[in-house]
Amino acid sequence: MEFIGCVNDEPAVEGGEKYFSDGFYTWKSKNDKNVYGEPKIMQAHSAREILHKCGFGDDIYKSKRRWPSVFIINLKTPVPGWLGSAGKTHINLGPYANNIAGVVSWLAYKIPTCHGMGFAIDTFSVGWDRDEDQNATEYLRRFLRKRRAAIEANPYLMITDRITQSGVWYRIRPKMV
């Protein structure tokens, strides 16, 4: 994930990430529920931490990660409340924190995950140059085509080698692994 932060259309030299750190952000989680079944209130201290909690983290299960993305936050404010005004490195985010957290988390949850894309637990493919046949749908289609040809060649298989939907899964699973 690449992060670019701007205030009033002016990005900082170092990418603007410092503009959106040192804040207190709260938002309602889309995925996590509390004991009463209501959306869990999430908290973070930077925009990058919001993204991390919304699925852009270093989780070992790569299929749960969200697609690589570029986030550009451009805070438009009439008079920025700069702290340490000479360097313009920090801004008082108090009035904007809830809006920033709501929008960033909403966008982050919209980014699809890599679930079903054929990525294993080890690493992402560099440059997304993975084999296009490396997903569950292609394995299933290939198996069903072969099975249909076998049934057409020998209809007696429908009696001697009956399979259910779960049986199909258990037959293609070793190839997928």
Domain assignment present for 127? no
pLDDT at 79: 64
pLDDT at 150: 93
CA distance 20 to 67: 22
User: For the chain, how big is the Rg over CA atoms in Å?
Assistant: 24
CA distance 147 to 157: 10
pLDDT at 125: 45
DSSP 66: B
Tell whether 57 and 97 lie within a shared domain.
yes
Lookup: tokens for 170: 């258990």
pLDDT at 82: 56
Number of structural domains (the chain) is: 2
Tell whether 21 and 107 lie within a shared domain.
yes
Domain assignment present for 35? yes
pLDDT at 122: 47
Tell whether 19 and 86 lie within a shared domain.
yes
Domain assignment present for 147? yes
User: Closest Cα partner for 66 from 117, 136, 122, 137?
Assistant: 117
What is the maximal distance between C-alpha atoms in the chain? Answer: 84
Domain assignment present for 129? no
Give the range of the structural domain holding residue 151, as residue numbers without chain letter: 136-176
CA distance 48 to 56: 9
**Locus of tokens 């982050």:** 108
Tell whether 37 and 97 lie within a shared domain.
yes
Tell whether 88 and 50 lie within a shared domain.
yes
Tell whether 11 and 61 lie within a shared domain.
yes
Tell whether 141 and 113 lie within a shared domain.
no
H helical segments located in 7-164: 47-53, 97-110, 136-153, 157-160
Domain assignment present for 36? yes
pLDDT at 153: 93
Lookup: tokens for 91: 């801004």
pLDDT 10s digits, 31-48: 777 778 788 888 888 888
Report, as ranges of residue numbers, the positions in the chain whose pLDDT lies below 70.
Answer: 1, 12-16, 57-65, 79-90, 114-134
Lookup: tokens for 72: 């550009």
